[in-house]
Amino acid sequence: MPRLVLASTSRYRAELLSRLRLPFETVRPDVDEAPAAGESPASLALRLATAKAAAVAATRPEALVIGSDQVASCDGRILGKPGTRATAIAQLQAMSGREVVFLTAVAIASAGAPGEQALDTTTVRFRQLPDDEIARYVDAESPLDCAGSFKCEGLGIALFESIESRDPTALVGLPLIATARLLRARGVVIP
């Protein structure tokens, strides 16, 4: 079996990939994540996942590299990782009572081989969120490194009315159904 590398230092993605019970290492990809002018959320997610996998594959020629990226979009506007408490609160206020689309891409690459990619779309409908509840949530869970300012695997699930997705792991950051499919296509045996 080829050596597996996750082109990410996200603990969320590493926790998800560990569910497949395959040995892997993590490597931080050196990729500029800024969107190109006019780039759609889906194109951005796919481009970044592919770029992350390719960047790490170039330094690990013996490995099969998994890259992933997630882009949140509300009314076509890309929502990044908030980084600060104030930005997280502002994002959640803007998403209150609305639908937000999360596009989660995964790409597999290896040196000298064309990469494969997949994209999962998850639609989240937020409840009407009072400002005091938003502030309590941000203080309790500090979702500053999460696109959309919430952690659905934690208390963030209480912010939603509904979730529509083919793969519930995609919302956390790595669509495992697609990842397993792409790995099997490369000959990886998943227990």
Q: Enumerate the active-site residues.
A: 69
Answer whether 46's CB lies under 8 Å from 117's CB. yes
Strands 63-74 and 99-110: antiparallel
Q: Which residues make Cβ contacts (< 8 Å) with residue 173, sequence separation at least 6? A: 10, 12, 13, 16, 68, 70, 104
What letter represents residue 2's amino acid?
P
User: Rounded to whole angstroms, how far apart are CA atoms 105 and 82?
Assistant: 20
DSSP for 36-53, please give it.
PTT--HHHHHHHHHHHHH
Residue located via tokens 């990729």:
31
Angle, in degrees to the nearest 10, between helices 131-141 and 85-95: 130
Name the DSSP letter for residue 127: P
Q: Whole-angstrom Cα distance, residue 92 to residue 76?
A: 16
